[in-house]
Amino acid sequence: MSAQKPLPRIIVLGAGLGGTIAAYEIRDATKGRAEVTVVSDTEDYWFVPSNPWVAVRWRDPEAIRVHLPPVMEKRGIDFTAIGAARVHPTENRVELNDGTSLSYDWLVIATGPELAFDEVPGLGPDGHTVSVCKTDHAAHAADLFDDFVKNPRPVIIGAAQGASCFGPAYEFLMIVETELRRRKIRDRVPMTFVTSEPYIGHLGLDGVGDTKGLLESQMRERHIKWITNARITSVEEGMMHVEEVNEDGSVKKNHDLPFGFSMILPAFRGVKAVFGIEGLTNPRGFILADKNQRNPNFKNIYALGVGVAIPPMGPTPVPVGVPKTGFMIESMVTAIAHNLAAELDGREPDEVASWNAVCLADFGDGGVAFVAQPQIPPRNLNWSSHGKWVHLAKIGFEKYFLRKVRVGTSEPFYEKFALNLLGISKLKETTKEGN
């Protein structure tokens, strides 16, 4: 009697916002016809959107952590936290950090980015600014914020040249401003927002609805100054050097900005495990993917999340990237899960992610929400709003999403029902042919 043929293996590389949900959804979509393995460099999932709260101690890091091995085991998903050293696409294997390798039939890359703090001298947690990109960074920022409030000085918050994730910068700016008011020391803290965006509210998306007007209004009301088209040249202890750039790229003005506390989001690049692999990544190390989220050169590799290559909206005086918002990432997840199921059926992948963007930016005592369908213009829907309800909605979303990760489900019935009521889809409605 012949031995039973082993199931094909699908490796999900990364266990962040995209990778964790991808593992659950792929497991459901393939219905036991494939072995699903998650390769991560940590056993824990951290809810990154709550990091700005962690940095001012509105959240304890443990409150936004999910220990993944038992959840993955319950769902029948293999899991390792050894981490990937290198992807070898021509050999269909992932080399792990301990020197061993895992072979795959399909690979889903969901690593997220490497944080390019080194591209600006003095930037980042190892330099003179803090970060909310990782939860341990945010916890470190909270320690420094505790020291800062004992000796209030100017605050600088923003995003460096090449950054592509601007929402958390605006969030943290307003959250810090709210916390300083609560502590009754706001009057002793001049605040400046420094951003590579060509205008306030650009967000890497050329604006959504009236984000320009809404955010400028919020900043004026809170007496926050701003510098746009900003290129940070270097950061020293207590001093940031910034070039303000004209439309033609020439330097308009040099700013030497003193500060006592600063959070600057860095540019991103691809992680070392994939960086520089010809045919797989672009020069920044982001994964090349077609409309079906599949690499055009290695057809058994899919990619989702912040590590996917997306061209910028258009030329800007200072480089500005395109953000990959949470819902946009989830739409990539759903498309990939459906496309892998199609491949297991012997069909060509044909699902296209909607790339719709739904964003809640919390300001501590209010916030701004926007919906962009799709995220990249021109859009079918372009809407933004603000109010105290956004803060409450963000709290509700945090609790909901963490429960989703802890239970091991990608899209509960009530989420699908609510999205359908709002007319928001994860998959693009296409005729499949010729799109």
Determine the pLDDT at residue 431.
41
Determine the pLDDT at residue 171.
96
> For every residue of 192-255, which 3-state class applies, written as one string?
EEEECCCCCCCCCCCCCCCHHHHHHHHHHHCCEEEECCEEEEEEECCEEEEEEECCCCCEEEEE
Fold agreement (9-115+269-352, 117-267)? yes
Burial zone of 414 (CB within 10 Å; 0-12 exposed, 13-18 middle, 19+ buried): exposed
Determine the pLDDT at residue 432.
45
pLDDT, tens digit, 9 for 90 and up, residues 53-76: 999 999 999 999 999 999 999 999
Q: Which residue has the higher pLDDT, 370 or 118?
A: 118
Give the count of beta carbons closer than 10 Å to the beta carbon of residue 151.
9
pLDDT, tens digit, 9 for 90 and up, residues 129-167: 999 999 999 999 999 999 999 999 999 999 999 999 899
CA distance 281 to 287: 4
Out of 3.40.630.10, 3.50.50.100, 3.40.50.460, 3.40.50.1980, select the CATH number for domain 9-115+269-352.
Answer: 3.50.50.100
Determine the pLDDT at residue 397.
87
> Which of 327, 330, 317, 400 has the alpha carbon at shortest distance from 370?
327
Helices (H), 222-351: 326-344
Per-residue exposure over 113-126, b if at least 16 CB sit within 10 Å of its own CB, e if not = bbbbbeebebbbbe
133 contacts: CB under 8 Å, gap ≥ 6: 48, 51, 115, 168, 265, 266
Helices 17-30, 326-344: axis angle to 10 degrees equals 30
Is pLDDT at 216 greater than 80 in this prediction? yes
pLDDT band at 420 (very low <50, low <70, confident <90, very high): low
Is pLDDT at 300 greater than 70 in this prediction? yes
DSSP three-state, residue 90: coil
Homologous superfamily in CATH for domain 117-267 = FAD/NAD(P)-binding domain (3.50.50.60)
For residue 42, what is the DSSP state?
-
Known catalytic residues are 165, 359
> Which of 202, 179, 206, 203 has the alpha carbon at shortest distance from 191?
179
Is pLDDT at 282 greater than 50 in this prediction? yes
- Distance spanning both ends of the chain, measured CA to CA: 47
* Domain residue extents for the chain: 9-115+269-352, 117-267
Is pLDDT at 414 greater than 70 in this prediction? no
Q: What percent of the chain has pLDDT over 70?
A: 94
Is pLDDT at 326 greater than 70 in this prediction? yes
Determine the pLDDT at residue 217.
96
pLDDT, tens digit, 9 for 90 and up, residues 353-375: 988 777 888 998 888 887 878 77
Reported pTM? 0.93
Backbone angles phi, psi at 159, to 5 degrees: -140, 135
For residue 270, what is the DSSP state?
-
Structure token pair of residue 365: 């005592």
Burial zone of 346 (CB within 10 Å; 0-12 exposed, 13-18 middle, 19+ buried): exposed
Determine the pLDDT at residue 376.
75
